[in-house]
Structure 1
Amino acid sequence: MYDLLVVGAGPYGLSIASHGAAAGLNVRVFGRPMASWRDHMPRGMFLKSEPWASNLSDPEARWRLDVYCAGRGTEARHGRPIPLEMFADYGLWFARNAAPPVDERMVTRVAPRTGGFEVTTEDGETVRGRTVALAIGVLPFVEIPAALRGLSPDLVSHSSHHADLDRFKGRDVTVIGGGQAALETAALLAEQGSRVRVLVRADRLCWNDVPPPWERPWWQSLRSPHSGLGPGWRNWFYSERPGLYRRLAEPTRARIAATALGPAGAWWVRERVENGVQVLLDREITEARATAGGVRLDTAGRGGGVGTLETEHVITATGFTATRERLGLLAEEVRGTLVTGADGAPEVGRDFESSYPGLFMAGLITAAGFGPAMRFVHGAGFTAGTLVRGVRRRLRSGPAGWTIPAGRTESAPDTVRS
């Protein structure tokens, strides 16, 4: 029986596995490494976060993004966006060098068993572990506006459904949303020859500014420090002090997690949108129906204006909603007992353990507990170290006869698996 089964092999899952193995735990990690970046984002995208805020986490901080880039003759520089493909390759490099071997099968079910849990893989094998960490990313939590949910996937899709956008060359596409995913998707569509427009519920687009220089006068840094979520003291608190964030009142935490860092486009995509994409502001879809040529959308604005447009396909870039009910891989006897917060997500304790003993959670689903950083790669470092300490505490409180690993003392191997 394993000490820890990690379900998910993205930045959070790989980071947890790395910390767990270094702590001496017998760890097994499941999932296609970096699947969201490799399989669900179109070519040509860039990472919105700064390179230094996009590291996966190992205990010795050896396998950083800048180290990977330097080994390939390039530089991870502040203020220079990292291509998506490079970040995905970095994650694979991290998996080879800093984590236990990854079992690339998907897990379809997590169920309780005497002394822990049993996970079932896509081919029917069962594996047992004393504890489980769910690091399943965002894909189970895709959010599509209610007016569009009844339409065929041939007509409506989510931005995370596309590894490339080639199928839309020369076609008319409407993108829903005002955040980075919507705006960058629209820019890529326009640049490949699609006829594209963006429907935005707000009355204006928001754009992130060019980040201030990394080296600057001390008084500027004091007034607006750099952080993993952007400059400013509020962002610094969200990104660098998630343990303190958790001490806020639960309604306050849920509100901040839902509203902080709202939809905005990166500074480097602004010109591409403004020069090539039609943007329709103050438009919310009230009704959608299939037509002979695609989809007819009825819209309304807060100012009372109404409109109609027809398009061949709708791509919704309307985010993700992490709730208990969407954790379909959990057996009902586990899922049904999870205590939830105001946002419907399972509550987690100080070390990311859910209300079901031995079941830990990571990533987006913990944002209401530990803050907006959990929506980004930057949160993986705090999560991995804290969660693994929690696993060790849970093992210490387990049945008599359980062996508690002492932790690894030797240095990480010097051999780089490229």
Structure 2
Amino acid sequence: MIRPVAVIGAGPFGLSTAAHIKASGIPVRVFGDPMVSWRDHMPAGMLLKSTPAASSIDAPRRGHTLADYCAAAGISRLAGVEDIVPVGTFISYGEWFQRELVPGLERVRVVSVDHRSAGGFEVELESGESFTARAVVVATGLSGLSHLPPELAAAAADGPAPTGPVSHSCQHHDLSRFAGQELIVVGAGQSALETAALAAEAGARVRVVARRRVGFGAPPWRQPRLRPGSPFGRAWSLWALSHYPQPYRYLPARTRHYLVRRVLGPLGAWWLRDRFEGKVRVEEIDRVVGAEALDGAPVLTVRTRAGATGRLVADHVIAATGYRVDIAAMGFLSHGLRTRLAVSRGTPNLGPGYVSSVPGLYFTGLPAAASYGPVMRFVCGTEFASPRLTRHLVAAHG
């Protein structure tokens, strides 16, 4: 029996990789719920910050871009840099992509992956089935990687929860539950600002608490024309990081991690400004010192820019504090496998073709950002990652 490749995850990176591997002729089994993070962990009414051109999932053949889906579904064509993609449209596009190119998707959870001394990997499913895979691709996206700073965690003894005093932004699909309440959103990035705007539109009294100045990107027609274009805007650095991520892994580790955090960092989309300003209060602080829950309500202790200490009270706090890759959080990888992986600040060190230090074990999407740059945080990163990962896998395990 020919051993298949196992792809774990059915978001944009998992579906793109699986489609490429399938097209190469190598047997592949794909596991997950298609677009689940986008469907269940993004707020209703959300709009993509990425332009339509940066929102297509890479496919091994023509005919499967976002524009192709819109044409097939009878949706007004989204093509210009000024067009905005609703999250519902993007979810439907991903599900269509899956039906068209990855029809054999198995909606079952992988509970364990372990390395076999005889070669390959032993994969165990929640259904009780076990099988041997020649290689494994981890494409689990943001699952399990939400980050809650310790200062806020102190007010969430049992962890962040939508019904508790503190939650993470990924835990909210319907923000209308906060209508009439005092809500604090911690963060300054697109997630924080859009969550705040949507909650305010739903009737909440919202205050954004941020350590940096809240800002919004320039609209496309105001960006400098003498710089090269990229999916994220016009700048030499963005152009290089978008189209030539290969040399990124040769940079010093400290530089790589810094650039992942800072390039395309906290900034609201240009189209969000009018919905935010005048509707949401902003409090810029030096830092959050601590948090506690008094009678079930969160109280933040903050240090102001002037050096004073203040207390902020609300009915609920949403931490829009992003995600952090941590191999330790990927519990489906066996302890022995995780200890064999070469990591840097919790992220896998990847070589050519997105392979880890364990031959046959690949990572794509956000876990690959520390090795291949910020473009791996975005859907357009599939255009670079999926063909290269597949070519490496075919050469090594075909």
**What is the Cα deviation at residue 283 of structure 1?**
4.7
- List runs of 5+ in structure 2 lacking aligned partners: none
Counterpart of 1:75? Answer: 77
- Can you list the C-alpha shifts for 1:298-333, whole angstroms capped at 9, x where unaligned? 111343122101111111111111122222221011
SS at match of 1:57: coil
Work out whether 1:106 is the aligned partner of 2:109: yes
1:172 and 1:110 mapped to 2: Cα distance? Answer: 44
Aligned amino acid, residue 319 of structure 1? G
How many Å apart are 1:213 and its aligned residue?
Answer: 8.4
Of residues 382, 385, 394 in structure 2, which corresponds to 1:380? Answer: 382
Question: CA distance change for structure 1 residues 159 and 328 in 2, over 3 Å: closer, same or farther?
Answer: same
Whether the 8 Å CA contact 1:18–1:100 is kept in 2: the answer is no
Q: Is 2:169 the partner of 1:167?
A: no
Match in the other structure for 1:413:
none
Aligned to 2:219: 210
Question: Could you tell me which of 323, 327, 332 is aligned with 2:330?
Answer: 327
Match of 2:130 among 126, 144, 147: 126
Gaps of 5+ in 1: 215-219, 396-403, 405-418
1:148 to 147, 152, 158: 152
Separation (CA, whole Å) in 2 of partners of 1:169 and 1:310 = 17
Question: 1:228, 1:240 within 8 Å by CA — same for their partners in 2?
Answer: no
Question: Equivalent residue for 1:315?
Answer: 318
3-state secondary structure, aligned to 1:276: coil
Deviation string, structure 1 residues 343-382 (Cα, Å, up to 9, x no partner) = 3311000110000111000011111111100011110121
Q: Name the TM-score, length of structure 2 as normaliser.
A: 0.94
Question: Are the aligned partners of 1:229 and 1:373 in contact in 2 as well (CA < 8 Å)?
Answer: no
Between stretches 61-70 and 248-257, larger displacement belongs to 248-257
The answer to whether the 8 Å contact 2:153/2:291 transfers is no
* Alignment check: 8 A CA contact 1:118 1:129 kept: yes
1:6 aligns with 2:7: yes
- Please tell me whether the aligned partners of residues 17 and 100 of structure 1 are also in contact (alpha carbons under 8 angstroms): no
Tell me the distance in 2 between the aligned counterparts of 1:96 and 1:167: 34
Q: Is the 8 A contact 2:58 2:380 kept in 1?
A: no
Amino acid at match of 2:352: R
Matching residue of 2:359:
357
Aligned-pair CA distance for 1:253: 2.1
Partner Cα distance (1:136, 1:370) in 2: 17
Return the offset for 1:249.
3.6
Paired residue secondary structure (2:5): strand
- Paired residues in the alignment total 388
Q: What is the match of residue 414 of structure 1?
A: none
Question: 8 Å contact 2:354–2:389 — kept in the other structure?
Answer: yes
Residue in 2 that maps onto 1:416: none
CA distance, structure 2, for counterparts of residue 68 and residue 187 of structure 1: 29
Structure 2 residue matching 1:271: 3-state secondary structure: helix
Identity of aligned residues (%): 41
The equivalences for 1:202-281 within 5 A come to 202=212, 204-212=213-221, 221=225, 223-281=226-284
**Contact between 1:10 and 1:34, CA under 8 Å: does it hold in 2?**
yes
1:122 partner letter:
E
Aligned position for 1:304: 307
- Partners of 1:264 and 1:213 lie apart in 2 by 16
Is the 2:165–2:296 contact (alpha carbons within 8 Å) kept by the matching residues of 1? Answer: no
Preserved contact between residue 2 and residue 28 of structure 1 (Cα < 8 Å): no
Does 1:186 find its partner at 2:157?
no
Whether the 8 Å CA contact 2:186–2:209 is kept in 1: the answer is yes
After superposition, what is the alpha-carbon deviation per residue over 1:228-251, rounded to whole angstroms, capped at 9, x for unaligned? 222211101111111133343433
Equivalent residue for 1:18?
A: 19
Aligned mates of 2:209, 2:28 — CA distance in 1: 45
What is the CA-CA distance between 1:187 and the residue it aligns to? 0.3
Shift of 1:226: 1.6
The residue matched to 2:301 in structure 1 has which SS?
A: strand
**How far apart, CA to CA, are the structure 1 residues paired with 2:277 and 2:133?**
52
C-alpha RMSD of matched pairs (Å): 1.6
1:73: Cα distance to partner? 3.3
